[in-house]
Amino acid sequence: MQRSDASSATDVPSGITVPGTPMMDSTAEKSQSESPQKDAPTTKSKSSDYTYDGVTGWRRFRVLRPCRGMYYDIRRRLPYYLSDITDAFTYRTFASTVRMYFVNLLPALAYTLDMQRRTDGFYSVNESLFASALAAMVFSTVSAQPLTIVGITGLISLFNYTIYDIIKIYDVTLYARFMAWTAIWAAIWHWLVAVWNLCDYMRYVTDFSSETFGMYVGIIYMIKGVEELVSLFDSFGSVDGYLSCVIAILYFGTVYALEKIGSGVLAKPWARGLLADYAYPIATIFWVGFAHIPGTIKRANISTLPISRAFYPTQPRSWLIDFWTLDVKWVFVAMPFGFLVMLLFYYDHNVSSLTAQAKQYPLKKPGGFHWDFFLLGCTTFVSGIIGIPLPNGLVPQAPVHTDSLTVFETDLQIISTEEGEGNEIRRPIVRATGVVEQRVSHFLMGLGIIGTMTGPLLIVLHTMPRAIFCGVFFVVGWGSIESNGITKKLLFLMSERRFVQQAEPLLQVRRRKIWLYLMCQIVGVILPVAISQTIAAIGFPVLVCVLIPFRWKTMPRWFTVKELEIMDDLTANNEVVLASFGGAPKLPGSSTADEYGLERRFSERKTGVPRQRAGSHGR
């Protein structure tokens, strides 16, 4: 019953025979039988207690019933804690650990390069590793949603150096203490949001805003990649610059090609699976090696990741920031900045949890957004007072973790045709048969990062050309742009009409309306991108958050419910996830959550579930 809507989404139309593993559901149930299915029914009836729908009187106000969300989050999730460890003994946990180590670490170091350059070295490699390790330890052990990988994002890097630019106008020595107070305020705001159960509103997040946000992030990353390359010309000269361009482009091409092959139908499923799982490690090891080939390339002496003494802050200071010495005036100036950080994390962290538990994954274990947001407040506080970048949920990488833990089966779909081509057409259909839901891969990845903080491994990091990180920006950024719903709708509008399948749901919406919908999204992308190059960049969380009420208040006036049902979709509609928000959102018109996502269901029927940065694990 938990899987009711998932199974309707992958409904096999009659007339299409699916050989291979027709026992999909029973397989999934079998693996589930090892988890505490016995607890589930009781937990479930309890978890549905957390709701405000249909409640009257003072009880309907969330702020008047503090900590209720967190209480239910813990109560709902705690019974699964043991299985979070026992479920982990599969190969997928290992593959996931390796993949996430690279997918988490490489972008974090990429943003660090950017941050380091723009904060005159206040935040550097040691700080970023520390922040990633701290977050991984906390969230892998005590969070309610261990699938959500928490770490350094490009947006916090943007935030940090924008504040640096602002503080520099007054007195640059204030920066460390000011950032500490920003974090302290942000932590307080986090705790308030968690206590007042305000994460509930995240259930209204639809693809409209998460696609817009994803596109914004993708574009920012592409820009960062180029900026970083340009800065190499300025700092290290033309030879370094051009060689770095070559490596960055080819690194991007390598990861992209490996992931494409991994998601194709070439070779055996296990071989494809290896390529998809280890695309990052393979490409990274190859291109780091390339940069050290003796001769012309070695002589170019390409610039590498700068490191400093292990376990010590990069700048000559103690880990604890003396935040108590800051002027009271500045303490209060930090308050709105803290609010903006909270707003960014409110959207960014919760959306990454949502996408890590998105509809295409057959998840069984419940979510817990309030509790995790409270925890995020704690890590924010600690990170602030020791002067490391504030970690939060990684939007583009979050679903990669779940993806790497998902057991995909590539089934064969045979479509009988009336005549021609041997009376059939064969097509691969990807099916997610189950997710290895556990917290061990997250924990091991954290241990890996702690290991990386030690001297010997720091020296290994030091051999990595900066160019690799520019390539990482391109891979992550382009991945976010290419798979984005905005891109897909644009391609639909540009396609020649006669080649579009008639069953395509978008054909039911007038082109004018699709354009209008897209223009709303594109404006939502352009505005934050435009200000990201200025000091106003710290305001971008407001722009991002405004999209949610805009979607529910303004857009229904311009579109019919039917049109929105086709073009938009809830970002999470898994019942076990929605439980943490107090149930499915109340939608306008007569529509229910199940009526959304026509477009997705159409595409899933054709090619199966979409995969994150490709990865046909085959088994």
The residue ranges that bind a second copy (CB under 8 A) are 13-16, 20, 233, 238-239, 241-243, 245-246, 249-250, 265-269, 296, 299-300, 412, 415-422, 424-428, 491, 494-496, 498-503, 605-606
Minimum distance, C-beta of residue 470 to a second copy, in the bound complex (Å): 12
Please give the Cα distance from 259 to 273 (Å, whole number): 10
Q: Residue 358 CB, nearest distance to a second copy (Å)? A: 24
Phi, psi (deg, nearest 5) at residue 50: -85, 100
HSE-CB at 215 with a 13 A cutoff on CA atoms is 24
Distance CA 510, CA 567 (A): 11
Q: Which is nearer to a second copy, 112 or 410 (CB)?
A: 410
| Smallest distance from a second copy to CB 547, Å | 28
- Which residue, 86 or 495, is less far from a second copy as judged by CB? 495
Q: Which is nearer to a second copy, 173 or 502 (CB)?
A: 502
Instruction: State the nearest-atom distance from the C-beta of 275 to a second copy, in Å.
Output: 13
Return the axis-axis angle of helices 279-290 and 269-277, rounded to nearest 10°: 60
- AA identity, residue 188: I
Specify the residue, 151 or 241, whose C-beta has the smaller distance to a second copy.
241
For the bound state, the minimum distance from the C-beta of residue 433 to a second copy, rounded and expressed in Å, comes to 17
Tell me whether residue 11 or residue 171 sits nearer to a second copy (CB atom). Answer: 11
Q: For residue 151, which of 202, 88, 103 has the smallest C-alpha distance?
A: 103
What residues contact residue 101 under an 8 Å CB cut-off, 6+ apart?
A: 445, 448, 449
User: Residues 466-499, buried b or exposed e (16+ Cβ, 10 A)?
Assistant: bbbbbbbbbbbbbbbbebbbbbebeebeeeeeee
Q: At closest approach, how far in Å is the CB of 471 from a second copy?
A: 13
Integer Cα distance of 486 and 482 in angstroms: 9
Q: Toward a second copy, which CB reaches closer, 45 or 238? A: 238
3-class secondary structure, 256: helix
Within a 10 A sphere around the Cβ of 7, how many other Cβ atoms? 13
Residue 305: CB minimum distance to a second copy, A: 20
For 73, phi then psi, to 5°, come to -55, -45
Q: How far is the CB of 241 from a second copy (least distance, A)?
A: 7
Give the nearer residue to a second copy in terms of CB position, either 17 or 315.
17
294 to each of 238, 291, 300, 467, 469, how far by Cα in Å? 20, 9, 10, 18, 22
Distance from C-alpha of 446 to C-alpha of 136, rounded to nearest angstrom: 5
Cβ closest to a second copy, residue 23 vs residue 265: 265
Choose between 486 and 548: whose C-beta lies nearer to a second copy: 486
Separation of alpha carbons 50 and 600, rounded Å: 29
Contact 437, 405 (CB under 8 A): yes
**CB 467 to a second copy: min, Å:** 11
